[in-house]
Structure 1
Amino acid sequence: MFEGIGTAIVTPFKEGKLDIESYEKLLNFQINNQINAIIVLGTTGEAPNISLDEREILIKKAKEVSGNKAQVIVGAGSNGLNHTIELIKNAEKNGADGLLIVTPYYNKPTQNGLYEYYKYIAEHTDLDIIVYNVPSRTGINILPETVYKIASDCKNVKALKEANSSFEQINKDLLLLKELKDFKIFSGNDDTAFQLLASGGDGVISVASNVIPLQMVQMFKFIKNGEIEKARNIHFSYYKLFKNLFIETNPIPVKAALSIMGFINNELRLPLVPASEPTMKIITETLKGCGVI
Structure 2
Amino acid sequence: MRTGILQQDSDEWKNRRSIPISEMMQASRTYEGDKANSFAEEGLTRTMASLVPDEILYNINDYTKRDLEACLLFGDVSGFTDLCEKYNKSGKGGPSRLTQVLNSYIGAMVQEILSHNGDVLKFSGDAFIALWKETDHLSLRDAVHEAIDCALVIQKSYGTYQTDVDVVVRVKLAVAAGHLVFSLIGDDENSHYLMTGQPIYDIKAAESKSKAGEIIITARVSHHLSANEYLIDLLSDGIHAKVLGVGPNWRNIQRTYENKEGISDTYSLLSAATSLEDELRQDSGVSILHPSEKEKAAEGGEDDDLQIASRVVTDQYARMFQIRCAVSIFT
TM-score range, shorter chain: under 0.3
Q: Report the structure, 1 or 2, having the larger strand content.
A: 2
**Larger RCO: 1 or 2 (CA < 8 Å, sep 6+):** 1
Q: Report the structure, 1 or 2, having the larger helix content.
A: 1
Greater Rg, structure 1 or structure 2? Answer: 2
